[in-house]
Amino acid sequence: MNSRVKGKVLVAAGGGVAAMKTPFVIRRLRDAGYEVRALATERALAFTTKTALATAAGSRVATEEAWFAASGNALHLELARWADLLVVAPATASGLARAAAGLAEDLLTATITAGVPKVLWAPAMNPEMWHYPATQENVSRLRGWGHFFVGPEYGALAAVGEGAGVGRMSEPETIVEHVHYLLTPKDLEGLTVIVSAGPTREYFDPVRFISNPSSGKMGYALAEAARDRGARVVLVSGPTNLPAPWGVETINVERANEMYEAITSRFDKADAVVMAAAVADWKPAQTASQKTAKKPGKNVVELLPTPDILAELGRRKERQVLVGFAMETADGRQRARGKLERKNLDFICLNYPTKEGSAFGGNQNEVEMIFPDGSVVETGRISKREVAEAIWDRVRDLIRERNEEGARNAQ
């Protein structure tokens, strides 16, 4: 989670069976550091309860009843002015229709027409209702007014015997990711960045390879953070178990040579490259076309070096900011400084995969950012997402400095 994004989110439950999940959406948003208030339409309360919503939100729920009971203060205006973002989860066909018609007859639509700054709809309904022309037109109308949508997704539907289809509300985690995106300041807007992630596989026959336990989590966190901050992101990923992040151009590769091609061919258009991939240093000299049969005794595999992608980028670089990772088990700083210099990097992120809490596959990391002038910034042990944010802060500053310098030289 990105603990640095803060904001006020009003979560509204519409009248559908997915309202059972609204308390989870609220809970996840609060865990991520948002201030949350809940609103429930009258029909929503047939599927969830005020108590469940209030417990998740830690405050009283805004309901029709509360609206009319309000003494003097107009609750719809207060909510619209309080919230940075309204999330309607679940959004029903009727809720979308009422909003698209500009109605303000219930607390939800009155709050929308009162000018809440941003609206994110998470629709959930039966696929026929979703595909019905009126619903689709209402969605495009709302989009045209600047409203945002997440889902609905394909999946099992709630009603018995309905099977699967497009109509399922996006999972709470996905909704939270979209909230992050909408509330994150876009300080990397206009930049194109390339991030590499995961291990590579160097095959010696069709079913055997040399690799390492890199999970790809650090690289994926970097890609998602840059996307949320407005960059155009190309993620070049070795094999991982992670889902491709939305809003990111993901290129899947296996071998170091493929990663080299994917990155070097796009380098001219990039403003920054962060190489978080654990690229294999060697590859078998020969790859057998068939599986090699087991034979008794010693078997020797001849290895050749793989291309050093980052070193090549360091040779080619003009304006690009180049960031490397150094995973060391001993003599960390000295070795990292060597790589920083040899590969002509702007900075290098030193981490220790054998240290507790920074291991391959974990959700946390502890990084020392080492700069050419000898300065070092230590992040302490924080989530990989927070490490990613700290790295982009530096990249952003370096690009700004370069642009300012360029502007001064042009005068």
* Per-residue tokens: 10: 């009003």
Separation between Cα atoms, residue 367 and residue 378, nearest integer Å: 6
Cα 308 from chain centre: 28
Task: Tell me if 231 sits within 8 A of 193, measured CB to CB.
Answer: yes
In the complex with ligand C5P, the residue whose CB is nearer, 87 or 310, is: 310
> Which is nearer to ligand C5P, 151 or 314 (by Cβ)?
314
Q: Which of 13, 88, 231, 279 forms a contact with ligand C5P (CB under 6 A)?
A: 279
Among 139-147, 153-161, 237-245, 277-285, which window interacts with ligand C5P (CB under 6 A)?
A: 277-285
Mention every residue, 6+ apart, whose C-beta is less than 8 A from residue 132. 93
Kindly list the catalytic residues: 212
Size of interface with ligand C5P, in residues (CB under 6 A)? 13
Q: Which of 15, 324, 350, 368 binds ligand C5P (CB under 6 A)?
A: 324
| CB-nearer residue toward ligand C5P: 29 or 322 | 322
- Contact region with ligand C5P (CB under 6 A), list: 81-89, 108-116, 118-126, 304-312: 304-312
d(CA 5, CA 119): 17
Main-chain dihedrals φ then ψ at residue 232, nearest 5 degrees: -85, 125
Q: Which residue, 95 or 198, is less far from ligand C5P as judged by CB?
A: 198
153 in contact with ligand C5P (CB under 6 A): no
From 35-43, 181-189, 206-214, 305-313, span contacting ligand C5P (CB under 6 A): 305-313
In angstroms, what is the minimal distance from the CB of 223 to ligand C5P?
Answer: 14
Cβ at position 75, least distance to ligand C5P in Å: 53
Instruction: Determine the Cα–Cα distance for residues 124 and 90; give it in Å rounded to an integer.
Output: 6
Q: Which residues contact 49 (CB under 8 A, 6 or more apart)?
A: none
| CA-based torsion, 23, 24, 26, 31: positive or negative | positive
Interaction between residue 281 and ligand C5P (CB under 6 A): yes
| Of 100, 221, 203, nearest in space to 149 by CA | 100
In this structure, are residues 61 and 53 in contact, taking their beta carbons and an 8 Å threshold? yes
CB 269 within 8 A of CB 293: no
Report the site for ligand C5P in 87-146 (rule: CB under 6 A). none
Give the relative orientation of helices 217-228 and 384-410 as an angle to the nearest 10 degrees.
50
In whole angstroms, how close is the CB of 275 to ligand C5P at the nearest point?
A: 4
Considering only 308, 377, 383, 402, the residue that binds ligand C5P (CB under 6 A) is: 308
How far apart, in whole angstroms, are the C-alpha atoms of residue 13 and residue 49? 10
CB of 65 to ligand C5P, least distance (A): 58
Name the residue among 352, 345, 351 with its Cα closest to residue 388: 351
Q: How far is the CB of 292 from ligand C5P (least distance, A)?
A: 25
Q: Are 19 and 90 in contact (CB under 8 A)?
A: yes
306 binds ligand C5P (CB under 6 A): yes
State the minimum distance, in angstroms, from the CB of residue 186 to ligand C5P: 26
- Mask of contacts with ligand C5P, 247-266, x by CB under 6 A? ---------x----------
391 in contact with ligand C5P (CB under 6 A): no
- Sites of contact with ligand C5P (CB under 6 A): 256, 275, 277, 279, 281, 306, 308-310, 324-326, 339
